[in-house]
Structure 1
Amino acid sequence: MEDGPEEIGTPYAPQALGAYSQAVKAGGFVFVSGQLGIDPDTGDLVEGTAADQATQALKNVKNILDAAGSGMEKVVKATVLMRRVEDFTLVDQAYSQVFIGSVRPARVAFGGADIPKGALVEIEVVALA
């Protein structure tokens, strides 16, 4: 029987920018907080396009899921926030390089979002634990 929510954290993803956990494991799921395209080694956003930032954000998600004992293949839901909806195709191309299984996660994508640190993309996921 589960005792309650468990905080998940790893040095291989950026530390939280506010009062939240990188992820929380509870009820058989891992809830990964929104990840920006921040390089955890430098603490800076990667330079380049929204696709470049999405690629880094997804690496951060993977590292957090790995720390939780889960994995990208267990992601069931993703939320993608973009500063510009016009970047959807670029972000989707980066996203499709990661989620290659026969069952891809359910997803919603929003454009016109003001994202912390001036980021172009933010990605959060829910995965099976």
Structure 2
Amino acid sequence: MKRHSSSAIPAPKFHYTPCVQAGAHYSVSGMVGLDPATGQLVAGGTAAQTQRIFDNLLLALPDYGLSLQDMVLARIYTTDFAAFPQINAIWEATLSDVPPPARTSVGVQALPLGAAVEIEFSFYKNPSSKDQET
């Protein structure tokens, strides 16, 4: 098993690994919309936080050795399903050029740091890649 981190995104606020690789499978810990410059939750609610999550993911993927093409699953947690169209709009814009992954969406009462949305991601990278750990 290999653990990955990225200096391009905010460091974890709690004790966990941002990305864990087990063979060809990668699990990216749930992300909330933290500003990389301040480490604080971005203002603007669900849409701004969702955009920041995807922006942070795109910043971290090169450090993890991954691309959006490798995504196989996303789990979305939100405290406000009425705002889900905002999440979907950003989802569609971000993933418009790649095959969409499987997805689970869950309504929750609360999220860490008072976030309105949290998303965790799973990836699979072809084992034939030269930097793949076995």
**Is the TM value for this pair above 0.5?**
yes
**Matched-pair contact (CA < 8 Å) for 1:77–1:127:** yes
1:96 equivalent to 2:86? Answer: no
Report the equivalent of 1:78.
74
Q: Where does the alignment leave 5 or more consecutive residues of structure 1 unmatched?
A: none
Query: What is the CA distance between 1:63 and its match in structure 2?
Result: 2.3
Residue type of the alignment partner of 2:28: V
TM normalised by structure 1 equals 0.90
Cα 1:102–1:70 shift into 2, 3 Å:
closer
Please tell me whether residue 68 in structure 1 is matched to residue 52 in structure 2. no
- Tell me by how many angstroms 1:15 deviates: 1.2
Pair 1:119-2:115 in alignment: yes
SS in 1 for 2:94: coil
Is structure 2 residue 3 aligned with structure 1 residue 23?
A: no
Percent of paired sites with the same residue = 28
Count of matched residue positions in the alignment of Structure 1 and Structure 2: 125
TM-score normalised by the chain length of structure 2: 0.87
CA RMSD of aligned residues (A): 1.3
Bigger strand share: 1
Shift of the alpha carbon at 1:120? 0.6
* Unaligned ranges ≥5, structure 2: 126-134
Task: State whether residues 8 and 64 of structure 1, in contact with CA within 8 Å, keep that contact through their aligned partners in structure 2.
Answer: no
User: What is residue 33 of structure 1 aligned with on the other side?
Assistant: 29
Say whether 1:9 aligns with 2:5. yes
Tell me which stretches of 4 or more aligned residues in structure 1 moved more than 3 Å.
none
